[in-house]
Structure 1
Amino acid sequence: MVELIDEPVDVSTHGVFNWILLLTIFSVITVIGNFIGYGHPLADSFIGMGILALITLIGVWLERKLPLDISSIIYISVIGIFIAFPGVPTSETVLYYVSKVELLSIVTVFLAYVGIGMGKSWDEFKALGWRAIIVTMLVIASTYFGSAIVAHIVLVMTGVPA
């Protein structure tokens, strides 16, 4: 079976192939969900996901190739901001196509992937016991309520009726 994510830091042909395969599968599933759930055209959504996947691939490659100790998320963010920044020749095209991909369709696929990844280490999760489940539930609930409180405060401060 092909391992989809390489652990080593070096950049090999096999590692790049695995990332391309993973991003392609992720993109296709996201585009289908985006079409079914939000009615965005398949071609536009696919181009938007292609742009996002390419940015991700470049960011991961830079993290592993450059001798700096910088996370790939920083590279991905900087590349995305740069190519979508007003005045940059790519901004209108990037913004048009990426706006055709709904965040919720991306997150749904990502969470499914994380769930599958957790399923691989189910024995480790069970070894943590019932306390880990309680802590996990409290962290998720606290994050949700904290976000809701902050959002409510910001809405009230900007004049939106509560």
Structure 2
Amino acid sequence: MYKLKTVVFEQISIVIPVYCIVFISQLIAKNTPPKDLIPGMAISFLIVSFSILTKNLISKPNLPGFAWSTLFAAVLTLPISPVKDLVVSNVGKIDFMVTVTPLLAFAGISIGDKLPQLKKLSWKIAIIAIVVMCSTYFGSALIAQMVLKFTNNI
């Protein structure tokens, strides 16, 4: 139990600086008043914290933390959820694109110590990455095209 508590607190302590960066980014980029950001950030932080705890408590299915977060957020925002309006109205004030930039930078920094492992993957991984990104882009464009034609928007 002590080890579980230590692991959970360690993982949550990594999340706290990320939330600070996101909060400051929101203030600077969007000039959102802090009183509008704090409730949404608190709800989001609670979802992430609960996801970290769940990920460490439940071994089957072995889902990563972001999957638990996505699941909990989806359940909380279901039309039948009594807290749907509270969650959507408060978390909706957090701009997604402003949030993504520091998170991607943080993720890039976190893989910095894994460069020797990345070098072992060789140049073939770059080709695979390009194929995956292009496939995702063209697949999304195809789906968008079909939906727009189906709804008579083009």
Q: Pick the TM interval, shorter chain.
A: 0.7 to 0.9
Distance 1:18 1:153 in 2: 46
1:142 to 126, 132, 135: 135
Which residue in 2 is equivalent to 1:126? 119
Superposed, which structure 2 residues align to 1:6-155 within 5 Å? 12-71=4-63, 72-86=65-79, 88-155=81-148
**Structure 2, unaligned runs of 5 or more:** none
**Structure 1, unaligned runs of 5 or more:** 1-9
Q: How many equivalent pairs are there?
A: 152
Following TM superposition, the consecutive aligned residue runs of length 4 or more in structure 1 with deviations greater than 4 angstroms are none
Taking a change above 3 Å as real, the CA distance of residues 160 and 46 of structure 1, as seen in their structure-2 partners, is same
Taking a change above 3 Å as real, the CA distance of residues 87 and 153 of structure 1, as seen in their structure-2 partners, is closer
Supply the RMSD in Å over aligned alpha carbons.
2.3
Give secondary structure in 1 for the equivalent of 2:93.
Answer: coil
Distance 1:111 1:55 in 2: 20
Shift of 1:23: 1.8
Q: Percent identity?
A: 27
Q: What whole-Å deviation, never above 9, does each CA across 1:41-79 have from its counterpart, x for those lacking one?
A: 223223212211211111221122135325244532332
Distance 1:51 1:155 in 2: 34
Contact 2:40/2:87 (CA < 8 Å) preserved in 1?
A: yes
Taking a change above 3 Å as real, the CA distance of residues 117 and 87 of structure 1, as seen in their structure-2 partners, is same
Q: TM-score, normalised by structure 1?
A: 0.79
* 1:20 partner amino acid: I
Distance 1:77 1:130 in 2: 33
Give secondary structure in 2 for the equivalent of 1:12.
Answer: helix
* 1:95 partner amino acid: V
Q: TM-score, normalised by structure 2?
A: 0.82
Give secondary structure in 2 for the equivalent of 1:60.
Answer: helix
